[in-house]
A and B are shown apart, each in its own frame.
Chain A
Amino acid sequence: MKHHIKLRKPLMKQLKKSNVKGTIVQSQPLWVRIFHWGFTASLTIVILSGLQLHKPASFLALNFSKVLTAHIVFGWFSLGFLAIRIADSFIRRDDSLIPKIQDLRHFPQLMSYCFFLRSSPPPARKYNSGQLLIYFSWFVLFLLSSFLGLVSYWQGEHLIWVWRLIGGFQVLRWTKFITTIYFLATIPIHIYLSLTEDISRLQAMVTGYERKSPPNNR
């Protein structure tokens, strides 16, 4: 969010000393960064332990009840971090993660950029339409998987209607597995794009500040 910021004096000094080109703007508030890295760490554990629950690797010989406990505990952690992000977006009235028609309109251009038919990406709000769609789908699928996880945790004691709706325990497990595959397929894309498109935005995910090249310098 590019709002008023007060740079601390030492930082100002440093900036003056170094050769910064462009504008320093704050793009990732603290809570977003806490959410991002907390969520990343927890979700990594959730996904890895989920895969272990799916097909135990015998050579690891992990204690299975502990794997399940880790999966559930870190599932709750991820949910907690997500709750932080949602609360934060309400407080800041931030809609940067909600895809809008205006974003989707740029999607074909973005694709042609990805396939090297254009030399520069189309203009975007905070995130480009591709990233936005991935983030948004993660939220939806993460909530879906967490919910299904809760349903399977209760083993038919509660939320029976979900079983009936989707056709039983096996379908439930299957759905969770497929969403995990989706995560595993899209996370590398996300990481790849973050590392190669605009490295200063990765920096912003750590420090909060992003350097925007001055418009006349493009």
Chain B
Amino acid sequence: MLSRRDFLKLVVKGAILGNFYQLISPPLAEAVAAGEVKKLPVVMIETGTCTGDSISLDNIWTPTFSDILTNILDWRYDWTMNQVQGEAAYRILQDTYENMPNEYILIVQGSMIQRDAGHYNHVAYENGKLITGIELVRRIGLKAKYVVAIGSCATYGGPVSGYPNPTQSTGVQNILPERRVINVSGCPAHPDWIMGTLLHLALYGEPELEKFGRPKLFYGETVHNRCPRRKDYDQGIFATEIGQKECLFRVGCKGPVTYADCPIRRWNDRFNWPIGCNTPCIGCTEPGYPDLMSPFTAHLPDIPFPGGTKVNTDAIGLGVLGLTSIAITGHITTSLFKGRIQKNLLKTSVKAQHRPALKKVKTFHQYWPKKS
């Protein structure tokens, strides 16, 4: 069987050559066939989501998603991929929950909608009762072997929790504090990130996680540090408009604050990626996306004010400086008008009319003018 070290090497090599699964699946399929690894049962619950991560996952090129499903993982419950529906489908989820505790992986896609006890997000119908997303995720999550949150919404709340967050959405970790949630963030998450994490779980257990609970093997380095335009940045050569070939920092690139391996892995079967087609990275893998990353064309986030307006940080800076200048100018004018500046300057600098001789008083270092 593939050693963990070889696997980690393949993660990088596969990213650069673009054939991660070609490299990884034959040894995996062998291992499964030889009974060295068990096919891991997987269930996916979709909560407040656009299903973008399923679509992204579907974009695995070679081998196809179906190869992986038939050979490596036991994909049991997933709204997008289910071949049955209604009761029959839901029964599979319940079966998995009851018969395979601490064996299955729970994948969550979509944010946890908390407003009004989660009743804006119903995900199941059970004995005449509507089940909310939070409730099902908690129930299934507590008995899962691993809980994997995929996409920005499930990991940190994502666009669904964007300002002013009317549904009080949040990430899975916040409603499942008892479990360590493995965060595979991204909007959407790259298919390699999702599948790579699942394969690591199947073969070697939990991967090493970084500060925000993401697998280090994909999220260990900033986009900026591996960006092919980094040399432009270092030399201060910047694009002034989106669409130009230089470093996109000035037009809001979030590469310096975003941890992901997009520059080497790239997207759509490694065909291209945002910076490759001259638009800035929007920081989709970071907590706080999209609020902290928008406007996507500006460097710092806008500041929300009560009442729902947002003000650009630079505008606030300029505003404060403008007010200060106005205040100082006003003060100078008034002081001059009232004669305060003149008085102060005279009092603190003007010499006496006639030359007083100095007289030593009390202590040797104090001098008083002699009355003449």
List residues of chain A with CB under 8 Å of any chain B CB: 4-7, 15-16, 18-21, 23-24, 54-56, 58, 60-65, 67, 114, 116, 155-156, 160, 163-164, 167-171, 173-174, 177-178, 180-182, 184-186, 188-189, 192, 196-201, 211, 213-214
Q: Which of B20-28, B83-91, B229-237 contacts A (4 or more CB under 8 A)?
A: B229-237
A-B contact pairs, 10 of them (CB 8 A): A15-B367, A16-B358, A20-B351, A21-B352, A61-B236, A61-B237, A155-B222, A169-B256, A181-B321, A214-B369
List of A residues within 8 angstroms of B358 by Cβ: 15-16, 20
Verify if B347 is at the interface (C-beta below 8 Å from A). yes
Q: How far is the CA of A196 from the CA of B351 in the complex (A)?
A: 17
Partner of B328, one of A58, A63, A169, A189: A189
Q: How many residues of B contact A (CB 8 A)?
A: 61
Using a CB-CB cutoff of 8 Å, which residues 313-369 of chain B contact chain A? 313-314, 316-317, 320-321, 323-325, 327-328, 331-332, 334-335, 338, 340-341, 344-345, 347-349, 351-352, 354-358, 363, 365-369
CB distance from B75 to the nearest CB of A (A): 33
A3's nearest neighbour on chain B, judged by CB, is B365
Q: How far is the CA of A157 from the CA of B350 in the complex (A)?
A: 59
Verify if B267 is at the interface (C-beta below 8 Å from A). no
Across the interface, do B292 and A171 meet the contact criterion of CB distance under 8 Å? yes
Q: Which of B92-100, B118-126, B189-197, B293-301 contacts A (4 or more CB under 8 A)?
A: B293-301
List of A residues within 8 angstroms of B369 by Cβ: 20-21, 214
Q: How far is the CA of A65 from the CA of B177 in the complex (A)?
A: 41
A180's nearest neighbour on chain B, judged by CB, is B317
Across the interface, do A188 and B324 meet the contact criterion of CB distance under 8 Å? yes
Across the interface, do A64 and B235 meet the contact criterion of CB distance under 8 Å? yes
Provided the pairs A173-B257, A181-B320, A196-B335 are in contact, do residues A64 and B236 lie with their beta carbons within 8 angstroms?
A: yes
Verify if B287 is at the interface (C-beta below 8 Å from A). yes
Across the interface, do A63 and B235 meet the contact criterion of CB distance under 8 Å? yes
List of B residues within 8 angstroms of A61 by Cβ: 236-237
Verify if B288 is at the interface (C-beta below 8 Å from A). yes
Provided the pairs A58-B250, A156-B211, A185-B324 are in contact, do residues A199 and B344 lie with their beta carbons within 8 angstroms?
A: yes
CB distance from A37 to the nearest CB of B (A): 21
CB distance from A183 to the nearest CB of B (A): 11
Verify if B272 is at the interface (C-beta below 8 Å from A). no
Provided the pairs A19-B356, A188-B324 are in contact, do residues A197 and B344 lie with their beta carbons within 8 angstroms?
A: yes
List of B residues within 8 angstroms of A182 by Cβ: 320
Verify if B64 is at the interface (C-beta below 8 Å from A). no
Across the interface, do B347 and A213 meet the contact criterion of CB distance under 8 Å? yes
List of A residues within 8 angstroms of B288 by Cβ: 167-168, 170-171
